[in-house]
Amino acid sequence: MIEILLAIFFITVLLLFLSSGIWVAISMIGVSSIGMILFTSRPVGDAMATTIWGASSSWTLTALPLFVWMGEILFRTKLSENLFEGLAPWLQKLPGGLIHVNVVGCALFAAISGSSAATVATVGKMSIPELRKRKYPEKILLGSLAGSGTLGLLIPPSIILIIYGVTVQESIAKLFIAGIIPGIMIALIFMGYVIIWSLLNKNKMPLNLENYSFLNKLSKSKQLIPVILLILGVIGSIYTGIATATEAASLGVVGALILSYFQKSLNLKTFKESLLGATKTSCMIAFILAGATFLSLAMGFTGLPRNLAIWIQDMELSPYVLIFVLMIFYIILGMFLDGISAVVLTMAIIEPMIRQAGFDMIWFGIFLVIVVEMAQITPPVGFNLFVLQGMANKDMGYIAKSAFPLFLLMIFAVFLIVLFPQIALWMPEQMIQNIN
């Protein structure tokens, strides 16, 4: 009973801080300090200094700003134009036509961005004007874009997988590799939805009047080659064991700079903007992670995570019931917090439960990211909805309704991951074999 009261105390104080507009990181540090003062004898000052320094100086964390910078560089290139021109000739003959560019374009950009918001903004900047010009229905246009943009959190290099890996001390390289097949699977599920929707609504879909010869298609596809080579270079170096996640991130930054230089979109102004954007994002995430680490320490001293794990064990919940409860919990939490905050705020309590239940932490990382992805398209704090609201000049409710079918499809994807865990675990196992 004591652990429940402690959990209620921490949650209540944290919600009070967050609702008052205090930054997430400051809120976590404040709650941790209050908890340690009230429930432990450990001095707060030295514990805070040691913990925050340790969290900020982690070598593993260096991959984060590098991948963020790579995405910022490519965000300012002609990549979005090249994506549309390179993909359109191959996808327009499928039922659903150029709507598939949203899905495939988001999947490709996710593989070089790591950010859901950046993925939606980049692909949307290119696809919304083009698809509106061709009279595609707004519902499927915006819904597919909102849903597909969430792939930025799952397909490596994923910022949130780096955060998760650092928080639970699991291999970021394995997490990256584990996200590949589930990411492709969700993209294919979305494409299947677009095909079915377009077949059921043929009267709403525009006629395809553009024809490309095979040579034309190959010619247009040349623009995708640099991007695909960059993706293969980053992911391939990790998969084969040639490079760690941090080293692969360095290769990605160099590749992005070379790519933007040859596209003639790299100048002193764009270089400074990319560097400043990456610095702001990385500092924000690192600050949240430092606060979360201190919160984990404070909870550890109170004994809350251990006691909660024992309490849940005593409840004798089956693993599937536990996973279902956690899915509902994270969907609700994601309605009010962004994905990174939702993960770092809760892992101190959730991690002991998951380990106690016997789940693989690599698998749980992929499960968690997919569930957090759903929150990107749920109001009131769905980040993808906010991004699209500004780009499409539509109200939040309309965009949320358009994205709702894809939300349901992501729930279906979660059930597939739960029923067939090898979807997430097969590639990491192969990676270990290749290295050995």
- Any domain includes 9: no
Question: What is the arithmetic mean of pLDDT over 195-217?
Answer: 78
- Any domain includes 11: no
pLDDT at position 355 is: 85
- Any domain includes 174: yes
- Any domain includes 7: no
- Any domain includes 1: no
pLDDT > 90: what percent of the chain? 13
> How much is the pTM?
0.78
For every residue of the chain, which 3-state class applies, written as one string?
A: CHHHHHHHHHHHHHHHHHHCCCCHHHHHHHHHHHHHHHHCCCCHHHHHHHHHHHHHCCHHHHHHHHHHHHHHHHHCCCHHHHHHHHHHHHHCCCCCCCHHHHHHHHHHHHHHHCCHHHHHHHHHHHHHHHHHHCCCCHHHHHHHHHHHHHHHHCCCCCHHHHHHHHHHCCCHHHHHHHCHHHHHHHHHHHHHHHHHHHHHCHHHCCCCCCCCCHHHHHHHHHHHHHHHHHHHHHHHHHHCCCCCHHHHHHHHHHHHHHHHHHCCCCCHHHHHHHHHHHHHHHHHHHHHHHHHHHHHHHHHHHCHHHHHHHHHHHHCCCHHHHHHHHHHHHHHHHCCCCHHHHHHHHHHHHHHHHHHHCCCHHHHHHHHHHHHHHHCCCCCCCHHHHHHHHHHCCCHHHHHHHHHHHHHHHHHHHHHHHHCCHHHHHHHHHHHHHHC
- Any domain includes 6: no
pLDDT at position 36 is: 85
- Any domain includes 2: no
Domain of residue 70, residue span: 22-435
pLDDT at position 2 is: 65
| Residue 189: band (very low, low, confident or very high) from pLDDT cuts 50, 70, 90 | very high
Q: What is the mean pLDDT of the chain?
A: 81
| Residue 338: band (very low, low, confident or very high) from pLDDT cuts 50, 70, 90 | low
- Res. 178: pLDDT tops 70: yes
- Any domain includes 3: no
| Weakest-pLDDT range from 365-369, 374-378, 414-418 | 374-378
**What is the number of structural domains in the chain?**
1
Question: What is the arithmetic mean of pLDDT over 165-194?
Answer: 90
